[in-house]
Every structure is written in C-alpha cells, then in structure tokens.
Amino acid sequence: MRKTVNLFAAIAIFLLSLPAHAAGVSEAQLRTHIEILASDEFAGREPGTEGEAKTIDYIARNWTKAGLKPAALDGSWFDPVPMVRRAAGSTKLSFTQKGRKLKFADSEIILIGKDPSYSRTSLSVQFVGHGVNKNGKLVGDVTGKLVFMLQTEAAFLPEDMRSSAARREALVAAGAEAVVLISDNEPGSWNSIRRRLISPRLQLESNDDTAALQGAVSAEFVVGLSTATGRDWDKLVRSAQDADFAAVDFGITADLEVTTHVERFNSYNVIGKIPGRKKGSGAVLYIGHWDHLGLCRPETEEDRICNGAVDNASGIAVLTEVAKALRKKRNDRDIYFLATTAEESGLLGAYAYAEKPVFPLEDIVIALNVDTIAIAPRGQRWRLSAAALRCSMERLKRWPLRWGGKWKLPMMPMLLSGGRMAGHWPKRVFRR
C-alpha cells in the first residue's frame, strides 16, 4: 500500500510544483480512515441510507480538519444529487388473441413501471428484433405499443446502437409504451438478468426518461408466446438478423397490472477547496467516490453488509490525507476535492457534477480520480498509463517536467493498480 500511496503523492507533488516532503501520507493514516468508513456502523455506504448520512458527515468533518473550505454551490459542503430508486414489485399479465385469453407464467417476466402503479388494457404487441436496422432507424411504428426486443447484438448494428440500452432508449423516444428485453438462450442468462432486475436500481432524476414500463423476459416465455400465436420463434430470430428487418405484429393485445417500489430522494456529492494564490491559473480536481453497495447479500446471510474498504474507502482516505498535506503549502492554482455519490450505479454523482459544476469545467487543468488504491498486494509494481487517453507515453513522461509552462494535455491520467484501471470519470467533462 505504501508504494501506491507514495506514487500518488509523488504525482501530486510534480503537478503542483511542491517539494517531495509535502506528501506526508502514511499507511497508518490511511488505515484509520479506511477502518472507520468500512466499519459495520456505515452499513456499506449505500446512497439514500443512514450509511450515506454518516459517510458524508465524516468526510466533511475530516476535510474541515484538513483545512479545506466548503465549496458546494450553496456554500456548504454538500451538493444535492436528486435520485430515483426503483425496484420490481408485482406483475399481472395476460394476452388476448381474437377473444381468446393466453396466460403465461409471471415468473418468466419482470416488469418495472416508471410510477408506483401501472394498469393498461389492450396494448398492441410487437416483436422488433434488435429495435433498429442497419441505418440506426426504427424497424417500425412502436407508438403506444408493448415491444419485445432482442438483448443480443447483431453484426449490422451501427456502432452507437450496439448496446441494448441505446436501442431501448431509441424505442422509448419514439413513443413505445413498454420495452421488454428478451434474454438469450445461454445457460444462466435469464437468472442473471432476473437477479439484476429485482434489485433496486438508481437513476438521476434529471435523466429519468424511462418508458412507462420496461423489463425483461426469458427466451422460454417468448417461445411460448410466438407458438401460441402461430409463429415459429427460431424463424423470427433468424429473420431479425436481416439488416432491413421490419417489426412483426403478434396480432394480440396485452392487459397489464404492475406495481413498482419507487423512492425519490437527494443523495449528496461532497466538495471542498484549497484556494490558490493566482486567479485565472486554472484548477486541479481530485475525485473519489464515497459510495459502496450497502446491504448487498441475501437476507438469509448472517453478514449482509458489503463494507467497501478497498472500493472506495481507500480512495476517500487518500483524498483526505492529500488534502491535509497540500493545505500546508502555498499553491498557485485552486485545488478542489470532490467525493461523488452513486458511482456503483453508473457514475451518477460524477454526471450530476458535470451537469452543475461549481466552477467552469474548462478551468480544469487536470483531474485525478482515486479508486481502489489498495487492491494490489504489497510490493506489486504500479504503473501510470496513457492508454486510450489521446496521449503517448513519451509525452506523459515529459509532462511533469513542463508543468510550469503553457503546454496543456487534453487527457486525464489515471492510477493503475495491479494492471487495472483504478477508476472512471465521464471523459467528456475534461476534453478541451
């Protein structure tokens, strides 16, 4: 751990033109923070829980002791991040074909509503294949319909439509009432999807543009549905591989009653600052997420808490101790410290900050994201990589030596531990 910490401190020293002794970070100091933040008292630091309240209070108190100034938009330590948490409730579903009721096992389909209660009758039902054709255009008119879409990719799909999420968003934007992904036939695929869907899911309230209803269904379910309507499912799937596939109307209607657990709340990013001496010289941003998975194990387990010592109590520990060390020095640039929420749910706190930053994003000279710094065994070598960041390694090596000049890099370095990227951040925030 000490080698990793010394690496991070050394980078900070170079970037900020500070003498080497300014690091002042020891393993014992980091361990103290990690042991507290990863204790059972913090219950896994899940956003929107008592664990969050204790976590952000701990960060604010220790950043105050470190000499940081609160830097949120309202002058406090905390920037609110409005969230929506949804979890599947109950589903009642039946189909009608020419007056004849078709009933299937509700256990083979998971549906989640945008609102707590959803009830509709006589929805038209379509199979839309992969959702879009080779040109990224929708395969049919989906307005007001329940559509079943293959989760898997197809060779003809445009690059920006390869993910099922992107295709689902396109269907929702076109007015689909409900979008249901079809699991593939791989062993365990449906059980994996089902477990993921029944678990609570977080979204930013500002990005809550989900369909009125969405979910997933097993391949077994749609095989039965297509057979009941006189169609061969294997032929339908093969036809969907055609780059010019057109949506197929099943000739049936659906009646649905769905309940969903919906919770709206504010989570919080924590933001502190060391003011610089020279206005207009840009800002340095240190980032680390404070959240983890909370009570992530089944209720039958004796210990349900995922404590998150490495991910990412370790990163918050580094931010706190680096802040303490840098506060003792006279720095030209403003130095910001940002502890983000809901990274485990898809970088939500980071995206929220990008939407409402506390200072102009173009002022960021460099952002250092600290995540899982203690994951490698003691003594393992570390490395700093410029891969995929539009910068050659040779330029990266020369960069600290030219920090005092006018040269700027349109990239974001990250620490690697054990050969793996040590964290993520929405790169669009930092591209000049």
Question: Residue 374's pLDDT band (boundaries 50, 70, 90)?
Answer: low
Domain boundary among the residues 228, 262, 296 is at: 262
How far CA 229 is from CA of 150, 240, 255, in Å, comes to 18, 18, 16
pLDDT for 207:
84
C-alpha–C-alpha distance, residues 386 and 390, integer Å: 7
Name which of 401, 86, 397, 136 is nearest 258 in CA terms. Answer: 86
3-state SS, residue 184: coil
Q: Is 269 within a domain?
A: no
pLDDT for 296:
87
Q: Is 146 within a domain?
A: yes
Quote the domain boundaries for residue 209. Answer: 85-262
Is pLDDT of 68 > 80?
A: yes
Q: Is 144 within a domain?
A: yes
* 283 and 402 assigned to the same domain: yes
Is pLDDT of 67 > 80?
A: yes
Which amino acid is residue 3, in one-letter code?
K
pLDDT for 381:
66
Is pLDDT of 78 > 80?
A: yes
C-alpha–C-alpha distance, residues 268 and 341, integer Å: 6
pLDDT for 10:
36
pLDDT for 263:
96
Domain boundary among the residues 207, 241, 262 is at: 262
Is pLDDT of 144 > 80?
A: yes
pLDDT above 90 as % of the chain: 66
* 287 and 225 assigned to the same domain: no
Torsion of CA 86, 369, 324, 290, to 10 degrees: 10
Residue 172 structure tokens: 């929702």
What's the average model confidence in pLDDT over 98-116?
90
Q: Is 254 within a domain?
A: yes
pLDDT for 415:
39
Question: The pTM is what?
Answer: 0.78
Q: Is 35 within a domain?
A: yes
What's the average model confidence in pLDDT over 148-175?
94
Q: Is 106 within a domain?
A: yes
Residue 234 structure tokens: 């294997």
Q: Is 12 within a domain?
A: yes
Is pLDDT of 424 > 70?
A: no
Q: Quick check: 142 and 176 in contact, CB under 8 A? A: yes
C-alpha–C-alpha distance, residues 420 and 416, integer Å: 5
Is pLDDT of 390 > 50?
A: no
pLDDT for 393:
46
Q: Which residue did the predictor score with more confidence, 164 or 106?
A: 164
Name which of 236, 225, 262 is nearest 109 in CA terms. Answer: 225
pLDDT for 382:
55
Tens digit of pLDDT for each residue in 302-351? 899 999 999 999 999 999 999 999 998 888 999 999 999 999 999 999 99
C-alpha–C-alpha distance, residues 174 and 212, integer Å: 13
Tens digit of pLDDT for each residue in 170-186? 999 999 999 999 998 78
Q: Which of 22-31, 34-43, 283-292 has the lowest mean pLDDT?
A: 22-31
Query: CATH code at 159?
Result: 3.50.30
Domain boundary among the residues 203, 234, 262 is at: 262
DSSP letter at 289 equals E
Name which of 404, 407, 400 is nearest 432 in CA terms. Answer: 407
Number of domains in the chain: 2
* 354 and 422 assigned to the same domain: yes
* 185 and 39 assigned to the same domain: no
* 122 and 196 assigned to the same domain: yes
* 414 and 357 assigned to the same domain: yes
Which amino acid is residue 402, in one-letter code?
R
3-state SS, residue 379: coil
Question: Residue 383's pLDDT band (boundaries 50, 70, 90)?
Answer: low
Is pLDDT of 231 > 60?
A: yes
Q: Quick check: 403 and 17 in contact, CB under 8 A? A: yes
* 306 and 352 assigned to the same domain: yes
Q: Which residue did the predictor score with more confidence, 266 or 104?
A: 266
* 325 and 253 assigned to the same domain: no
Q: Quick check: 252 and 101 in contact, CB under 8 A? A: no
C-alpha–C-alpha distance, residues 168 and 213, integer Å: 11
Tens digit of pLDDT for each residue in 184-224? 878 778 888 888 888 899 999 998 878 899 999 999 999 99
pLDDT for 12:
41
Question: Residue 403's pLDDT band (boundaries 50, 70, 90)?
Answer: very low
CB contact burial 83-113 (16+ within 10 A = b; e otherwise): bbbbebbebebebeeeeeeeebeeebbbbbb
Name which of 212, 207, 131, 206 is nearest 166 in CA terms. Answer: 131
Residue 89 structure tokens: 């409730």
Which amino acid is residue 312, in one-letter code?
N
Q: Quick check: 263 and 48 in contact, CB under 8 A? A: yes
Residue 93 structure tokens: 């579903």
What's the average model confidence in pLDDT over 251-264?
96
Query: CATH code at 26?
Result: 3.40.630.10
- C-beta neighbour count of 58 within 10 angstroms: 20
* 117 and 52 assigned to the same domain: no
* 43 and 124 assigned to the same domain: no
Is pLDDT of 11 > 70?
A: no
Q: Which residue did the predictor score with more confidence, 426 or 169?
A: 169
pLDDT for 298:
82
* 173 and 241 assigned to the same domain: yes
* 291 and 359 assigned to the same domain: yes
pLDDT for 23:
54
pLDDT for 376:
64
Is pLDDT of 8 > 60?
A: no
Q: Is 133 within a domain?
A: yes
C-alpha–C-alpha distance, residues 6 and 330, integer Å: 21
pLDDT for 431:
34
